[in-house]
Amino acid sequence: MSSKPLENLRDPRSAADRLLVLLKKGGPQSAADLGAALGVSAEAARQQLVKLAEGGLVAAQTERHGVGRPLQRWGLTAAGHARFPDRHAETMVQFLGIIRRELGEESLDRLIDARARESRAAYAAALEGAADLGERVARLTAVRTKEGYMAEWQRDGADYLLIENHCPICAAARECQGFCRSELELFRWALGPGVSVERTEHIIAGARRCVYRIRRAGGKRSPARRPKS
C-alpha cells in the first residue's frame, strides 16, 4: 500500500483513497456503512479495508451491543491520519521555535496577527454579497475546504455547525495556540456583527475534528446535539 500523501482531498480517485477520506471525515465506521457510501457491497469494502490494514493505515475494533454478532468498526491509525497534508509540519514547527527563541513571544504574536489581516481580505472577497447568515456560513465552509480543512456545515435548529475534519496546520497550532485563537477571531469577523461563534470541539484538545457552533447573537440557544458524522 502506497504511503504517498493524499493531496486531492476533494476528489480522491481510488477506492482505497475514498475509504480513507470517509474515515477521516466520519470517524470509525462499519464495512457495511462504508460500502453503502461507496456504492459497493459490504464485503467489497471489507476487502479494501483489509488491504489498508495490511499497510498499517486502518485498524478494526470489535464492539459488543447486547446479544447478537459483535460489530466491527474500522478507523484510521496514526499512519492513516498522516496520509493527509500537514503543510510541512516539521519545518513550520522549527521556524516557530526559532522566532520564539530569537525574537520573543510578542514577535510571534505579531506575525500571527499579520497572517490574520491578510486572510481577512481573502475572506471578505469570498463572502461579499452573501444574502444571509446561512450563505455566509456556506461560503466560509468553501474557503476552508479550499485551504485543506475538509470543512462541511450543518443546520442544528436555529444554529449552524461548521465542521473541520482535518487541520493542515495542526503541528504549528500545537506549538503555538495563537493560531487557533486567531482563526476563531477571523470567523467572528468574517460572519459579521450580531453573530456568535463558539468552538465546541477542538483537535488540539484531543477531539477528532474542530466544530464551531454559529448562531445569531441574542437568539434562542438551540439544545446542544452531537453533529452528524
Between CA 170 and CA 159 the distance in angstroms is 27
The answer to whether residues 117 and 206 belong to one domain is: yes
Each residue's pLDDT tens digit, 94-144:
777 787 788 888 888 888 888 888 899 999 999 999 989 999 999 999 999
Nearest-CA neighbor of 60 among 16, 6, 23?
Answer: 23
The answer to whether residues 197 and 162 belong to one domain is: yes
- CATH (domain of 109): 3.30.1380
The answer to whether residues 159 and 212 belong to one domain is: yes
Residue that is last in its domain, among 29, 50, 81: 81
Residue 140 belongs to some domain of the structure: yes
Residue that is last in its domain, among 39, 62, 81: 81
Residue that is last in its domain, among 81, 108, 126: 81
Averaged pLDDT for residues 140-167: 94
Residue 229 belongs to some domain of the structure: no
The answer to whether residues 47 and 150 belong to one domain is: no
User: Exposure pattern of 39-70 as b/e (b: 16+ CB <10 Å)?
Assistant: eeeeeebbebbeebbebebbbeeeeeeeeeee
Q: How many CB atoms lie within 10 A of CB 8?
A: 10
Averaged pLDDT for residues 75-97: 76
HSE-CB at 139 with a 13 A cutoff on CA atoms is 17
Residue 153 belongs to some domain of the structure: yes
Does the pLDDT at position 47 exceed 90? yes
What pLDDT does 66 receive? 67
Please name the residue ranges forming H helices in the chain: 15-26, 31-38, 42-54, 78-81, 89-103, 105-127, 133-146, 170-175, 178-191
What pLDDT does 174 receive? 78
The answer to whether residues 60 and 156 belong to one domain is: no
Residue 193 belongs to some domain of the structure: yes
Does the pLDDT at position 158 exceed 60? yes
- CATH (domain of 32): 1.10.10.10
Percent of the chain at pLDDT exceeding 90:
50
Does the pLDDT at position 33 exceed 90? yes
Map residue 141 onto helix, strand or coil.
helix
Percent of the chain at pLDDT exceeding 70:
86
The answer to whether residues 157 and 175 belong to one domain is: yes
Residue 54 belongs to some domain of the structure: yes
HSE-CB at 33 with a 13 A cutoff on CA atoms is 13
Most confident stretch, 60-69, 86-95, 189-198: 189-198
The answer to whether residues 20 and 105 belong to one domain is: no
182 phi-psi bin (left φ>0, alpha ψ -120 to 50, beta other): alpha
What pLDDT does 200 receive? 97
- Length of the chain in residues, anyone? 229
Does the pLDDT at position 193 exceed 80? yes
Residue 195 belongs to some domain of the structure: yes
Does the pLDDT at position 219 exceed 70? no
The answer to whether the predicted template modeling score (pTM) of the entire model surpasses 0.75 is no
The answer to whether residues 207 and 94 belong to one domain is: yes
> Which is more confident, 44 or 179?
44
Nearest-CA neighbor of 161 among 215, 221, 217, 218?
Answer: 215
The answer to whether residues 110 and 183 belong to one domain is: yes
Which residue range forms the structural domain that includes residue 151? 89-216
Residue 171 belongs to some domain of the structure: yes
Residue 228: pLDDT band with limits 50, 70, 90: low
Does the pLDDT at position 195 exceed 90? yes
What pLDDT does 225 receive? 56
> Which is more confident, 14 or 11?
14
The answer to whether residues 42 and 136 belong to one domain is: no
Residues 25/27/33/39 CA torsion (nearest 10 deg): 30
The answer to whether residues 126 and 202 belong to one domain is: yes
Q: How many domains does the chain have?
A: 2
Residue 10 belongs to some domain of the structure: no
Residue 8: pLDDT band with limits 50, 70, 90: low
Does the pLDDT at position 179 exceed 80? yes
The answer to whether residues 19 and 129 belong to one domain is: no
Cβ within 8 Å of residue 155, ≥6 positions away: 134, 161
- DSSP letter at 7 equals -
